[in-house]
Amino acid sequence: MTTCFFVSDLHGRIERYRKLFDRIASENPQIVFMGGDLLPSGMMAAVSGSNEPPDFIDGFLTPELVKLKDRLGDNYPRIMVILGNDDPRSEEEVILELSANGLIEYIDNRRTSMGEFDLYGYACVPPTPFRLKDRERYDVSRYTDPGRISPEEGVRTAPLPDGNPRYVTIQKDLEILTEGRNLEKSVFLFHAPPYDTNLDRAALDGMMVEGVPVDVHIGSIAVKRLILARQPLVTMHGHVHESSGLTGKWRDKIGRTNCYNAAYDGSELALIRFTLEEPDKAVRELI
């Protein structure tokens, strides 16, 4: 069995990272998936006008990963990482250095494999009300829901790598990423959850913007369409912290696809354990 951990939305909280590293050391999973919003708040940097978040990566994350790798040796897991909409793109270069040094594998908008399984990563989310737009895209069309700021507005901590945000969508990105691939044995590490599921329910009940009700589901239609049409084995998500509290569910199933959300709005670390061979048997522990 290929044993996996999945966590998301740690937001630079050191106590959560320490709990995760302790469990990795004691249980020796083969893969650890980290689903974005991993760093101290990029939105704070955007509001302040600074591109410099606290020294979290060099001051904490890198030395802790080095210690973990030294401790585990050949049992060190493959740590698959994407960033999220609250992680500043200005930090991506340092993340790429961690990947080049073998401490993590940065898989945003990339495909890798584990035996017979394909592993994909994709970090972008549909437009949010927040000003930081480093990892926001239009979803399936050039439309922004009431109360949200379009990807063409807001601020960025680094230039977009692929040009004008007016002409890119999550749907197109996913088409390019998966073109010609059979996804039956594929595993996706997303930040955005699929739209209108147990995993994307936000605490927006009764909110109105200029007389228009705000949709309480804030996930991605493009992600939902990919799952419905292509039926990957597993999809992992974060982004909506309160969803599991509102719905009572941290997982959903769309056709044959097992979907998990590890974002959590409590103080604990939400750790999801599963195997690639038996994803129906996934469990979540709050630590």
Q: How far apart are the first and last CA of the chain?
A: 24
pLDDT in tens, 17-43: 999 999 999 999 999 999 999 999 855
234 forms bridges with which residues in the sheet?
187, 258
Is the whole model's pTM more than 0.75, yes or no?
Answer: yes
Q: Which domains does the chain have, with CATH numbers?
A: 3-286 (3.60.21.10)
pLDDT in tens, 198-216: 999 999 998 988 888 899 9
Q: What pLDDT is recorded for position 41? A: 81
Give the residue among 199, 247, 249 at the shortest CA–CA distance from 223. Answer: 199
Q: Is the confidence at residue 177, as pLDDT, over 80?
A: yes
CA distance 283 to 285: 7
CA distance 198 to 202: 10
pLDDT in tens, 206-257: 898 888 889 999 999 999 999 999 999 999 999 999 999 999 999 999 999 9
pLDDT in tens, 128-149: 999 999 999 999 999 888 889 9
CA distance 165 to 232: 28
Backbone phi and psi for residue 118, each to the nearest 5 degrees, phi listed first = -90, 140
DSSP the chain: --EEEEE---TT-HHHHHHHHHHHHHH--SEEEEES--SS-HHHHHHHT-S---SHIIIIIHHHHHHHHHHHGGGPPEEEEE--TTS-GGGHHHHHHHHHTTS-EE-BTEEEEETTEEEEEE--B---SSSB-TTB-BSSSS---TT---TTSSB-SS--TTS-GGG-BHHHHHHHHHTT---TTEEEEESSPBSSSTT-B-S-TT-EETTEEPPSB-SBHHHHHHHHHH--SEEEE-S-TTHHHHHS-SEEEETTEEEEE---SSSS-EEEEEESS-GGG-EEEE-
